Amino acid sequence: MYVLPRQIQLMALYPLPSAIILNKLIISSTSSLHFTCRFSPKPLIPSLFSTTTAAATTSSSTLFQHHSYGPSLYKGHKKHQNTDNFDEENFTRVFDITALRVPSEHCFSLESKLRGHLLNWPRIRNIARVPGDDIDDELKEFIGNNNDAETLTALERRIYGKAEGDGEKMCSVLYRDKLARTFNSTGYVKFQNLAKLSRPKKSKKKREEEEGSGRQRKGLGRNEMALVEVVEEEGSGDEDLSGLLGDDFIRRRKWSGSTRLLLLDERYANKGIEELPEAIKAVLKEHNEESTRLSFEIVRCKLTLFYNYWQMNEVLEVLLPQGMIVPSAFETVGHIAHLNLRDEHLPHKKLIAKVVLDKNKPKIQTVANKIDAIHNDYRTMQLEVLAGNHSLVTTVVENGLYFDVDLATVYWNSRLATERQRLLSCFTHDDVVCDVFAGIGPIAISAAKKVKYVYANDLNPSAVEYLERNSVRNKLERKIEIFNMDGRRFIDSIFVSEKTRAITQVVMNLPNDAAEFLDSFRGIFGKRNKGRQFTLPRIHVYGFSKAQDPEFDFHEQIRIALSEVAFEVEMRKVRLVAPGKWMLCASFVLPETVAFSK
Ligand SMILES: C[S@@+](CC[C@H](N)C(=O)[O-])C[C@H]1O[C@@H](n2cnc3c(N)ncnc32)[C@H](O)[C@@H]1O
């Protein structure tokens, strides 16, 4: 099963639309605790997801109980609900959380001290940055370390020609002119954001973006999972540094150095300072005593989790009818995911495939469903492509080698990679290997890298084409001879031919029927010049058994096929392919009596 790992990205956006400063706590060495509650906290109302499939209207209370901690699609506020189609916006959930705005240089030490009180949601960093937390490096240099009130006031005077209460704001032309004169030439050139000063504060496009869907907002592309925004009062009318520091600079009365948000655990959402545990207050006080200019704020935030945040099973759980088993596993071959859907899933197959594709891109580009058990001679899978690109030709890397595969026309099973490795580990560089059912060559080509020589055969012309292509691709074509014939004929001709090197290992990987091919070995050396030297090959034959004692049963099949009982067989269970059905591998040296029988 393949589960794609993902990275959380907390996006910085432009100043926030809606506006409430809920609780504000300022701790400084000169002040005691201030707590202002401008608005009464809103209780968190769990909002449920009603899906496009009628049957997915699961009872709210039940679901909420099941998801009491951590993010869930059954919690948070929905942005909007489009009931007609599968719409990624339907999976956006907004959570109210409380955060501590702390000086950036202290965020890591505070993070470790506040462990247990911080948000502990998968893939969400509990240290967040929002617009306005940082300042351009050029400006930082300009301010130096003196970001105390006096320096900041002086900076404001230099930028705006005034400080708070000094009178009217300058027009932008004069302002720019003044700024250009204020900075020396080096400073001006280095000052990236100066160009923005003459730009209108909010472009039409930006206003439209803001009014339109949240997904169109600046910096919020397809790959973002989460966004932290501080809920602050809009349009305070205060002069701000946004022109100078860029559009992302948040409006704040005073910039007091770089800050970060420490996201508090969800249980503190909408809580005031008095309601926070003593442990948090004690940590803040302790830090406060260490520095003369530390200030901490309790801020109310919105944490938005987008469609990209949710795992495949979480999305499918709300999309599929209640009680239906959510398909959670699939196999991958290169860029192709192949599902094995149950009958009950079939009416939803396209939806399931879309989610599998979305949640596993870019590694997965095609999602297909296996529509039938493998019955045909070439052991190919019957696949129906449900989502993504329709090509079933892909490349698999195994054992450091590249294998091109067309799943529509050839056999491939990634699950056998370990078994192939085990088998290869039995070979030495003196071996000459004969692969009777080679497919596109995972054993034959890997063996060619290690052994002296390989004879590889398959009945399927397409498999042989890929076998040739893969041997060339891996630059091993000089060590492999490829045949396209029935296994029985191949065994017969390869052992009879005088040109053939002495074969030491034979691989027979056609578990459904391989044992039936064993009788081909009867008398193979009897047909040849008796005066010659013969090497009895070691045969590795695969088979299935549903018997109570699968090893014994497979052993029996081999004895019957060879009409011989007195020889040693090493038997291994490879894997359980279905309930009660084992795949086995039997290895034995071809008995002399069989090889020379008449
Ligand atoms: C289970 S696959 C194994 C392929 C390869 N060894 C692998 O591990 O991927 C069996 C292969 O035997 C081939 N095959 C089936 N019947 C055959 C026959 N009578 N003679 C030769 N090859 C045959 C199929 O085309 C298929 O590629």
Strand partners, 25: 35
The CA distance from 74 to 45, in Å, is 11
Same domain, 422 and 499: yes
Give me the DSSP letters along 231-298.
Answer: ---S------SHHHH-TTPPP-S---S-EEEEEBPGGGTT--GGGS-HHHHHHHHHHHHH-SS---EE
Same domain, 490 and 553: yes
Q: Tell me how far CA of residue 489 lies from CA of 77, 386, 458, in angstroms.
A: 69, 40, 11
Confidence band for 251, pLDDT divided at 50, 70 and 90: very low
Q: Tell me how far CA of residue 110 lies from CA of 116, 286, 289, in angstroms.
A: 12, 10, 14
**Max mean pLDDT range (42-46, 208-212, 386-390):** 386-390
**Mean of pLDDT values over 551-561:** 95
- Give the count of beta carbons closer than 10 Å to the beta carbon of residue 535: 14
Q: Tell me how far CA of residue 547 lies from CA of 276, 300, 416, 568, in angstroms.
A: 65, 65, 22, 21
Binding annotation for S-adenosyl-L-methionine = 420, 458-459, 486-487, 509
pLDDT of residue 527: 67
Rounded to two decimals, the ipTM of the complex is 0.99
In the chain, count H helices and then E strands.
17, 22
Is residue 466 over pLDDT 50? Answer: yes
Long-range residue pairs from 345-354, CB within 8 A, at least 24 positions apart, any chain: 345/320, 348/53, 348/319, 348/320, 349/386, 350/386, 350/387, 351/86, 351/319, 351/320, 352/316, 352/320, 352/327, 352/386, 353/386, 353/387, 353/388, 354/86, 354/387
Residues framing ligand 1 (Cβ under 6 A)? 377-379, 411-412, 416, 437-439, 442-443, 458-460, 463, 486-487, 509-510
The domain boundary residue, chosen from 269, 290, 308 = 308
**Mean of pLDDT values over 558-586:** 94
Same domain, 286 and 347: no
What domain range is 434 assigned to? 414-596
Same domain, 435 and 560: yes
Share of the chain above pLDDT 90, in %: 48
- Pull the structure tokens for residue 543: 């088979």
pLDDT of residue 40: 30
pLDDT tens per residue across span 92-141: 999 999 998 888 888 898 899 998 999 999 999 999 988 777 765 556 66
Same domain, 463 and 585: yes
Same domain, 506 and 576: yes
**Mean of pLDDT values over 196-204:** 51
Is residue 208 over pLDDT 60? Answer: no
The CA distance from 48 to 60, in Å, is 6
Share of the chain above pLDDT 70, in %: 66
Q: Is 11 inside a domain boundary? A: no
Q: Ligand 1 test: best mutation among 333, 381, 409, 411, most atoms within 8 Å of CB? A: 411
Centroid of ligand 1 to alpha carbon of 379 (angstroms):
7
Contacts of 221 (CB under 8 A, 6+ apart): none
Residues 538, 506 contacting (CB under 8 angstroms) = yes
Dihedrals phi, psi of 433, to nearest 5 degrees? -105, 140
Return the exposure string of 268-287: e unless at least 16 CB atoms fall within 10 Å of the residue's CB, then b: bbbbbbeebeeebeebbeeb
pLDDT of residue 193: 55
Ligand 1, residue 410: give the atom nearest the CA: 27
- Give the count of beta carbons closer than 10 Å to the beta carbon of residue 173: 10
pLDDT tens per residue across span 211-237: 544 443 433 444 589 999 988 644 433
pLDDT tens per residue across span 470-522: 999 999 999 999 999 999 999 999 998 888 899 999 999 999 988 899 999 99
Q: Which helix (H) or strand (E) holds 386?
A: strand 382-388
CATH of the domain at 572: 3.40.50.150
Count of structural domains within the chain: 3
pTM above 0.80, yes or no: no
pLDDT tens per residue across span 10-52: 322 222 332 222 233 333 322 222 322 222 332 322 332 332 2
Centroid of ligand 1 to alpha carbon of 552 (angstroms):
25
The CA distance from 46 to 535, in Å, is 75
pLDDT of residue 430: 97
CATH of the domain at 328: 3.30.300.110
